[in-house]
Structure 1
Amino acid sequence: MLSVRNLHVQVSGVEILHGIDLDIRNGETAALFGPNGSGKSTLLMTLMGFPKYVVTQGSVIFKGQDITGLSVDERARMGMGMSFQRPPVVRGVKMRDMVAACLRREATEGEIHDMASAAGMVDFLERDVNYGFSGGEIKRSELLQLLAQDPDFVLLDEPESGVDLVNIAVIGDLINRLLQKDVRIRERNHSGLVITHTGHILDYVSARTGYVMINGRLSCGGDPHEILMTIKQYGYEECSRCVR
């Protein structure tokens, strides 16, 4: 579903990503580990098409089409969606209206209520988007919007960040719903890339492959749980030895 080839990315004239190669097949979920400042969020922002992140070399292929030059809106229409590490507050826009807008079609009140119920957000539908929400509530708010959007490819930037243990379980359930984890992998048409710093989300969301990013380069592709165990035991120093 997604192929990244020799991707080099600059921000404000400084190269952050250096020759990234990545493949995520239809129905698969990949986990991306790495220390702070290693370029993980830059990769997600680039894949989503934010103009601040300038591709100087390489390509991003989605559903067989080169999308390297496409805008955020164009990628969203093709079926890409993203959850941010620090989502913005949107004053003056109610959650109900945001969910309806994400559906991109005429939505019934029942549909909106059912989605909000799955995210534990029914009582938030008349509130401004993310205004006064706790960390866990903001994450659930974003995942509710993604459920409404129903993207084929989901980019998740540290979904467990700033979230307590109770909310992590709820968030894990929502991510599994987004990624169709209740469907056999051959029958799924949703895929994802999940950034995780702690690995806690992997207790709730299964990933087929894991990668480590060190200084803008990928290393240590393999089983995500084995990678996480290595990181916990030896730190990222061990991963830096096999940067590719």
Structure 2
Amino acid sequence: MLEIHDLHVEVRGEPILHGVDLAVPEGEVHALLGPNGSGKTSLMMTIMGFSGYKVTRGKILFMGQDITQASLTERARMGIAVAQQRPPTIPGVRLRQVVEYLTGSDEGHKSEVAALVEAVRVRPFMDREINAGLSGGEIRRSEMLQLLAMRPRFAMLDEIDSGVDVEALELIGAMANQLFSVEHGHPVRRRSGLIITHTGQVMEYVHADRAHIIMRGKISCTGNPGIIFDMVCDSGYEKCVECVNHIPEVHL
């Protein structure tokens, strides 16, 4: 679904990513962990095609097609979407308008989203301008609602566990599981996605097939999500990567 090869990226002339290699197969959800400033969000913004993130080397392939130079609009139309950690307030545009546009004329989908609006408690701000006056948890729920209405082929969730309490995180995790499920009630059949997290708390609620650690703009470790998360919790990111880089040779 997504393939990244030797990706180098600059922001305002400063190198940010230094040769990232990453592959997310169809039907898999991967987690990307790393300390603050490691390049997590920069990688997401580059995949989505935000301006200001200049690819100086490498390629991004989506469903086999090279999208390295594609615009953000083109990538969105192909089915790539993102829930940002700090989305902007959008004056003059109300959440209800966006949701109605995304659901279109599909009556079945409209009914599903309408039920979801009540279930995740976003009805009180459906007629507010996007993100205006909302708390961190409310913004996360609004972003997830928009993704669920959009039904993207590939969704990226940026720090959806940041700044929310345990109860809100459980609800957001349930929304993420629904987002990645191809059919309601069949969580094993999934859409592809990338969950970006610093704390890893969201992984207690959303199953990831594989986890990657990014350090200093490069993927440093890849493996079982549970093992990697436990190692990070016990020893921190530096020690986790160090244990991979210092595996003793075995002579047979």
Instruction: Give TM-score, length-normalised by structure 1.
Output: 0.93
Unmatched runs of 5 consecutive residues or more in structure 2: 246-252
Distance 2:165 2:214 in 1: 26
Out of 234-243 and 191-200, give the one that drifted further.
234-243
Distance 1:78 1:46 in 2: 15
Conserved in 1, the CA contact under 8 Å of 2:178 and 2:187? no
Bigger Rg, which one: 2
| 1:122-173 deviation per Cα after TM superposition (whole angstroms, max 9, x unaligned) | 2221222111111111000000111111101001111110111111011001
Distance 1:184 1:171 in 2: 16
Distance 1:106 1:9 in 2: 40
Distance 1:117 1:9 in 2: 41
Give 1:228's aligned amino acid.
Answer: F
Q: What is the CA-CA distance between 1:43 and the residue it aligns to?
A: 0.3
Distance 2:229 2:113 in 1: 37
The residue aligned with 2:12 is 12
The residue aligned with 2:2 is 2
Distance 1:184 1:201 in 2: 17
Conserved in 2, the CA contact under 8 Å of 1:119 and 1:141? no
The residue aligned with 1:238 is 239
Conserved in 2, the CA contact under 8 Å of 1:24 and 1:30? yes
Conserved in 2, the CA contact under 8 Å of 1:113 and 1:122? no
> Structure 1 segments of 4 or more deviating over 3 A?
106-112
Q: What is the CA-CA distance between 1:88 and the residue it aligns to?
A: 1.1
The residue aligned with 2:149 is 148
Distance 1:140 1:107 in 2: 22
The residue aligned with 2:248 is none
Q: What is the CA-CA distance between 1:112 and the residue it aligns to?
A: 4.7
Distance 1:206 1:110 in 2: 27
Give 2:37's aligned amino acid.
Answer: G
Distance 2:218 2:141 in 1: 31
Q: What is the CA-CA distance between 1:36 and the residue it aligns to?
A: 0.3
Distance 1:131 1:106 in 2: 27
Unmatched runs of 5 consecutive residues or more in structure 1: none
User: Secondary structure in 1 aligned to 2:7?
Assistant: strand
Counterparts of 1:150-165 in structure 2, within 5 Å, are: 150-165=151-166
Counterparts of 1:114-133 in structure 2, within 5 Å, are: 114-133=115-134
Q: What is the CA-CA distance between 1:100 and the residue it aligns to?
A: 1.6
The residue aligned with 1:183 is 186
| 1:167-211 deviation per Cα after TM superposition (whole angstroms, max 9, x unaligned) | 1011001100110074364x43x1110011111101110001001
Out of 163-172 and 106-115, give the one that drifted further.
106-115
Give 2:118's aligned amino acid.
Answer: S
Counterparts of 1:34-183 in structure 2, within 5 Å, are: 34-103=34-103, 105-106=104-105, 110=111, 112-180=113-181, 182-183=185-186
The residue aligned with 2:226 is 225
User: Secondary structure in 2 aligned to 1:210?
Assistant: strand
Distance 2:181 2:113 in 1: 19
Aligned residues: 240
Q: What is the CA-CA distance between 1:93 and the residue it aligns to?
A: 1.7
Give 1:11's aligned amino acid.
Answer: V
| 1:190-244 deviation per Cα after TM superposition (whole angstroms, max 9, x unaligned) | 111001111110111000100111100101200111111111111111234347x
Q: What is the CA-CA distance between 1:91 and the residue it aligns to?
A: 2.4
